[in-house]
């Protein structure tokens, strides 16, 4: 969802900042403060972040082993268990006693395996969270001769993680490799990637990855995906290639990318296919649409697209750009559906820039503008306006600084070097000569604006003469964070202009509204249509639009991620295969990449809601009796010190459960005891507290 406006300021990109927000603490034993004390058989537990050594390698392994173990469990167990026992079942395989049940070779092999592919990008998980009873197999049949196969691998059930594969005979061309930021449904996850399994199994056919533009929902997946799809060459226009390279610097262990710059006049040969480009209007320079020539007509993917226009009449430049499609026989159009539900034409960026220019000119005190760092055109225009009115610009926020650096290096911004000053120089100038450009208009916790709003910024202290302009819409899901940001800023007396309260347009979207999309449909006049970039509902609305323009319903396919669409019979008919390319969620979770199990995500949700309750007991394997009163550790459940009665009763239940269960049992079946114990304790805790913490028994045989 966050990528609606391509907000790449949401979080530091790359690996940085990942560990800060982990809320989960899982202890094996509170005495074991150093990770090295964890016996190998306990390796399934990750230590609390603060107990990890500062140099990261260890934590990477820990996280990974944990997830690997979870994978084993759900392979073997029925996932549809009740909530508490799910957690236990994960645990049971990791605990000391489980060594008895699993062959030692297997355990050792798994660990070695974890060791060998330590680096990001090399790790391929086989299971999908969707295929709960086995591996999600790629059962798509080989492609037939002269058939065109189109597979949207991401971005058609959500906004973000855009990726599409086009396959003809012996060639595959991949368009975009984005990611999606986590949302509330995937706590702790950093990014969600398109599932590339289909491509991985056919990587020798991949001729190129062609990128439409430099937003993260189109390039974000590159560091994680390239190695898996065989490192094909990447083609894009210059700014995009610079942004890809800049990002890649944070992944120094990866193979260098083979990046080739193309311009819109180019026509390049990839395998047996020719590919051409055209300019599209978006919020970042060098956005391009892609035209793949096939024997039956062209396939067109414009990427993210809107139109420059005056009162609903596209400008001459736009007319000129789309003129070519009058001559082009377009077989298939795949188009952005993000704003299909908004009527008419979206506000052109030129209008926003004019309004911002006025505001910059007329603001007599310090002006702080919060915006997405991905809105590069606006960023360039704001800096240019500031210079025009003799103001100095302070850039705050890492992604914003990075992007300013890139456009400076590319000569895309022509301001004098002294216009941009460091934040530490801010007091050297009168306040009416200062403009601050900052990230964090979405209320992002660690971004510059939020730090200013909470008075935790070292140099920038908000005062009641400041004007703060939030030049961004609120991405769905961020409403509360933005509200908090506005409250905090208002508390310090600043004047706040938001895009809803502003009298003039101070923000516009990067994606065309219905009117613009309709205009483009009419210009391109495709034979077949596949709506992309959007949730299912948006794609359906876009399908309606195409139908209303006279396209037969059988010429339109509304895909899901992984849907295999074929154009056959010499480009005459479109089919949707019953087989799907693997499409299970692939996530970046700390240092590990893969299809993080749904059970892991569910546990995180439960931990966040009701916390956890760990029981540690030693059982005499001869008598089946508890050696001493069991230890209990809990986090996020109830405050133990004030719950002594509850604890006391819980201990009685634990002791009774264990000793009743072990009566006459020889040898002692630890798994069985744990299951019963989990059920009994969960039930008891629920009766007493109406909470369902994850109950984890750790039983040691002595």
Q: Which of 422, 410, 2 is nearest to 246 (CA)?
A: 410
Distance in Å, CB of 399 to Zn ion, minimum:
14
Q: Which of 262, 276, 286 is nearest to 330 (CA)?
A: 276
Give the nearer residue to Zn ion in terms of CB position, either 304 or 444.
304
Tokens 């990942």 appear where?
Answer: 18
What token pair was written down for 534?
Answer: 């959007």
Give the nearer residue to Zn ion in terms of CB position, either 154 or 636.
154
What token pair was written down for 124?
Answer: 């391929």
How far apart are the C-alpha atoms of 531 and 514, rounded to whole Å?
13
What SS3 class is residue 600? Answer: helix
What token pair was written down for 681?
Answer: 């304790």
By CB under 5 A, name the binding residues for Zn ion.
6, 215, 217, 304
500's enclosing H/E stretch is none
Give the nearer residue to Zn ion in terms of CB position, either 136 or 286.
286
- Give the DSSP letter of residue 306: B
Give the nearer residue to Zn ion in terms of CB position, either 159 or 436.
159
How far apart are the C-alpha atoms of 375 and 233, rounded to whole Å?
27
Give the nearer residue to Zn ion in terms of CB position, either 533 or 604.
533
Give the ranges where 2-149 is alpha helix by DSSP (H): 57-76, 83-92, 104-116
Give the nearer residue to Zn ion in terms of CB position, either 303 or 594.
303
How far apart are the C-alpha atoms of 515 and 344, rounded to whole Å?
4
Distance in Å, CB of 510 to Zn ion, minimum:
5
How far apart are the C-alpha atoms of 688 and 682, rounded to whole Å?
10
Distance in Å, CB of 614 to Zn ion, minimum:
44
Give the nearer residue to Zn ion in terms of CB position, either 303 or 693.
303
How far apart are the C-alpha atoms of 164 and 156, rounded to whole Å?
10
Give the nearer residue to Zn ion in terms of CB position, either 215 or 521.
215
What token pair was written down for 632?
Answer: 């209990």
Give the nearer residue to Zn ion in terms of CB position, either 190 or 304.
304
Distance in Å, CB of 194 to Zn ion, minimum:
13
> From edge to edge, which strands make up the β-sheet containing 612-619?
631-635, 612-619, 694-701
Distance in Å, CB of 465 to Zn ion, minimum:
36
How far apart are the C-alpha atoms of 612 and 360, rounded to whole Å?
52
Distance in Å, CB of 228 to Zn ion, minimum:
22
How far apart are the C-alpha atoms of 692 and 686, rounded to whole Å?
6
Distance in Å, CB of 342 to Zn ion, minimum:
16
Tokens 């210009």 appear where?
Answer: 523
Distance in Å, CB of 377 to Zn ion, minimum:
11
354's enclosing H/E stretch is helix 349-362
Q: Which of 119, 106, 63, 403 is nearest to 251 (CA)?
A: 119
Distance in Å, CB of 471 to Zn ion, minimum:
17
Give the nearer residue to Zn ion in terms of CB position, either 175 or 551.
175
Q: DSSP letters of 193-204?
A: E---HHHHTTGG
Distance in Å, CB of 367 to Zn ion, minimum:
26
> From edge to edge, which strands make up the β-sheet containing 180-181?
180-181, 191-193, 586-589, 592-594
528-532 vs 330-336, strand pairing mode: parallel
Distance in Å, CB of 395 to Zn ion, minimum:
21
What SS3 class is residue 303? Answer: coil
Give the nearer residue to Zn ion in terms of CB position, either 6 or 561.
6
């Amino acid at each position: 969802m966050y990528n609606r406006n391509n907000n790449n300021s949401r979080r530091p990109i790359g690996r940085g900042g990942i560990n800060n927000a982990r809320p989960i603490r899982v202890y094996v034993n509170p005495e074991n403060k150093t990770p090295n004390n964890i016996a190998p058989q306990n390796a399934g537990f990750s230590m609390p972040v603060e107990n990890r050594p500062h140099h990261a390698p260890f934590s990477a392994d820990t996280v990974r082993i944990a997830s690997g173990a979870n994978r084993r469990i759900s392979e073997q167990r029925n996932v549809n268990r009740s909530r508490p026992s799910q957690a236990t079942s994960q645990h049971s395989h990791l605990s000391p006693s489980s060594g008895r049940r699993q062959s030692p070779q297997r355990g050792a092999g798994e660990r070695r395996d974890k060791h060998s592919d330590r680096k990001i990008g090399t790790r391929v998980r086989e299971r999908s969270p969707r295929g709960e009873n086995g591996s999600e197999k790629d059962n798509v049949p080989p492609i037939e001769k002269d058939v065109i196969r189109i597979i949207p691998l991401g971005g058609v059930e959500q906004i973000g993680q855009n990726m599409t594969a086009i396959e003809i005979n012996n060639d595959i061309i991949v368009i975009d490799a984005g990611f999606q930021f986590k949302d509330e449904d995937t706590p702790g996850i950093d990014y969600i990637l398109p599932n590339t399994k289909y491509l991985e199994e056919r990587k020798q056919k991949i001729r190129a990855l062609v990128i439409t533009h430099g937003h993260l929902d189109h390039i974000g997946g590159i560091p994680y995906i390239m190695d898996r799809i065989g490192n094909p060459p990447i083609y894009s226009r210059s700014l995009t290639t610079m942004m890809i390279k800049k990002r890649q610097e944070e992944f120094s262990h990866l193979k260098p990318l083979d990046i080739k710059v193309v311009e819109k006049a180019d026509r390049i040969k990839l395998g047996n296919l020719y590919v051409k480009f055209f300019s599209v209007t978006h919020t970042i320079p060098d956005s391009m649409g892609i035209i793949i020539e096939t024997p039956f007509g062209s396939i067109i993917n414009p990427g993210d697209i809107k139109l420059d226009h005056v009162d609903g009449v596209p400008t001459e430049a736009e007319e000129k750009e789309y003129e070519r499609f009058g001559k082009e026989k377009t077989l298939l159009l795949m188009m952005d559906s993000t704003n299909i539900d908004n009527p008419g034409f979206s506000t052109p960026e030129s209008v926003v820039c004019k309004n911002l220019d006025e505001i910059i000119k007329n603001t007599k005190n310090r002006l702080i503008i919060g915006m997405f760092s991905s809105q590069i055109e606006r960023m360039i225009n704001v800096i240019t306006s500031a210079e025009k009115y003799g103001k100095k610009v302070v850039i705050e926020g890492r992604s914003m600084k990075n992007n300013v650096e890139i456009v400076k290096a590319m000569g895309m911004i022509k301001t004098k070097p002294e216009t941009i000053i460091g934040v530490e120089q801010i007091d050297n100038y009168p306040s009416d000569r200062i403009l601050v450009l900052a990230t964090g208009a979405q209320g992002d916790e660690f971004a510059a604006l939020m730090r200013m709003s909470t008075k935790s910024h070292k140099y920038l202290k908000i005062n009641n003469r400041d004007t703060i302009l939030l030049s961004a819409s609120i991405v769905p899901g961020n409403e509360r964070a933005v509200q908090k940001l506005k409250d905090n800023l208002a508390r310090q007396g600043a004047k706040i202009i938001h895009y809803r309260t502003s009298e003039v347009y101070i923000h516009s979207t990067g994606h065309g509204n219905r009117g613009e999309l309709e205009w483009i449909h009419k210009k391109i006049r495709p034979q077949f249509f596949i709506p992309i970039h959007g949730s299912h509902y948006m794609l359906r609305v876009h399908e309606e639009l195409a139908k209303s323009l006279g396209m037969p319903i059988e010429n339109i396919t509304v895909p899901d991620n992984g849907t295999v669409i074929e154009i056959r019979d010499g480009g005459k008919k479109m089919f949707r295969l019953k087989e799907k390319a693997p499409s299970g969620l692939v996530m970046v979770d700390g240092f590990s990449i893969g299809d993080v199990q749904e059970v892991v995500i569910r546990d995180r949700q439960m931990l966040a809601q009701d916390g956890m309750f760990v029981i540690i007991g030693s059982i005499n394997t001869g008598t089946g009796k508890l050696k001493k009163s069991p230890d209990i550790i809990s986090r996020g459940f109830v405050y133990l010190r004030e719950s002594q009665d509850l604890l006391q009763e819980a201990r009685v239940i634990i002791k009774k459960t264990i000793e009743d269960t072990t009566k006459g049992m020889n040898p002692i079946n630890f798994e069985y005891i744990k299951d019963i114990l989990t059920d009994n304790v969960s039930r008891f805790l629920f009766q007493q507290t109406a909470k369902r913490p994850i109950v984890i028994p750790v039983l040691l045989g002595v």
